[in-house]
Amino acid sequence: MRCSETLESDHSPTHSVLLGLRVIGATIATMGPWGEPELLVWRPEAVASEPPVPVGLEVKLGALVLLLVLTLICSLVPICVLRRPGANAEASASRQKALSLVSCFAGGVFLATCLLDLLPDYLAAIDEALAALHVTLQFPLQEFILAMGFFLVLVMEQITLAYKEQSGPPPREEMRALLGTTNGGPQHCHDGPGVPQPGGTPAAPSALRACVLVFSLALHSVFEGLAVGLQRDRARAMELCLALLLHKGILAVSLSLRLLQSHLRAQVVAGCGILFSCMTPLGIGLGAALAESAGPLHQLAQSVLEGMAAGTFLYITFLEILPQELATSEQRILKVILLLTGFALLTGLLFIQV
């Protein structure tokens, strides 16, 4: 007590500085036997570092609701705009051309999503999981899982084709239940695998590929939601939420355009949009529930599933989306420009997110 009174009563500059530093909490003054400061230890972390603010449940619930509402709106807007009944056949044909051009833009978005989002996220996650388990492999496990996802879709599609060829063409009622018609007339679409042909016999993989596309994006969305739900830092959780709002909005529009280009009925496209919109909020809820029990084995299982989803998306992107949009000879240069624009848009968004 006497040492403290001596320091407080002395108004010399040296003691004032020492007292100021002690008030800030950035300096520790070790007192000597006579009350004089013996050693000053500077601790910058006492001022610079602050403990992360824990994420409250209200932040995760707010992110869940925002992502659900925004993604749902973005999924339904293309249906409302592009599936309005046309006044005549000419208006319907022009709308179909516009849909084809906008689908090229969506194809660029999907290409960037595949190469710059799904694949890097998967590779980083599985490397981190293996490192946490102290596992070192000489076998390229990451690429093998990607290949398994790729071949999964390929085998499913070929089995479906073989079954359809043996069973014969489906009844006209089943075809109408799956495929939409414009003004009651025939569909105008690109030649190629997976699209209805002029003779009236639809190719089997069209609906299957659409389902696989929705499934792969939905599974990836669950994992992105898990990243938000597992966060314990409030600032990081809000940053991820804002990035996902932009990312999912663009992907929702692109997915609806892609499904409309596959000539699915508007009700089917809306159902797929609702399913896709619910996946990221579902991941946030699961992440919030599992935040305390997440371990290396959980992370490895999640990474394997994400790798399978990335492999399926790889197949859909390069063997379904891009070939179909670039197969026709109409407006080739404009389609390439729109493709590059969609790729550049998502690339810029991911660059800002990083």
Q: What's the pLDDT at 210? A: 77
Q: Which residues of the chain have pLDDT under 50?
A: 1-10, 13-29, 40-42, 44-49, 51-53, 87, 171-204
Would you list the DSSP string of 155-186?
HHHHHHHHHHHHH-SPPHHHHHHHB--BTTB-
Residues 6+ apart with CB under 8 A from 240: 227, 228, 231
Retrieve residue 131's tokens.
């490192």
In this structure, how many other beta carbons lie within 10 angstroms of the beta carbon of residue 237? 24
Say how many residues make up the chain: 354
| Residue percentage of the chain with pLDDT more than 70 | 65
Q: What's the pLDDT at 5? A: 44
pTM, full prediction: 0.59
Q: Express each pLDDT in 271-323 by its tens digit.
A: 888 998 998 888 888 877 766 666 788 788 878 888 888 888 788 778 877 88
Alpha helices in the chain (DSSP H): 2-9, 13-24, 45-48, 57-82, 89-112, 119-132, 141-167, 172-178, 205-229, 234-261, 266-289, 296-316, 322-326, 332-353
CA triple 259-256-156, angle to 5 deg: 40
Q: What's the pLDDT at 178? A: 40
Contact between residue 311 and residue 220 where contact means Cβ atoms under 8 Å apart? no
Retrieve residue 105's tokens.
């833009």
Contact between residue 323 and residue 190 where contact means Cβ atoms under 8 Å apart? no
Greatest extent of the chain over all pairs of C-alpha atoms, in Å: 104
HEC letters along 34-90: CCCEEEEEECCHHHHCCCCCECCHHHHHHHHHHHHHHHHHHHHHHHHHHCCCCCCHH
Report d(CA 129, CA 60) in Å as an integer: 25
Q: What's the pLDDT at 190? A: 43
Q: What's the pLDDT at 144? A: 94
Report d(CA 334, CA 338) in Å as an integer: 6
Q: Express each pLDDT in 31-74 by its tens digit.
A: 555 555 555 444 544 444 454 445 567 777 888 888 889 889 98
Q: Where are the domains of the chain?
A: 2-48, 57-353
Q: What's the pLDDT at 199? A: 43
Q: What's the pLDDT at 354? A: 60
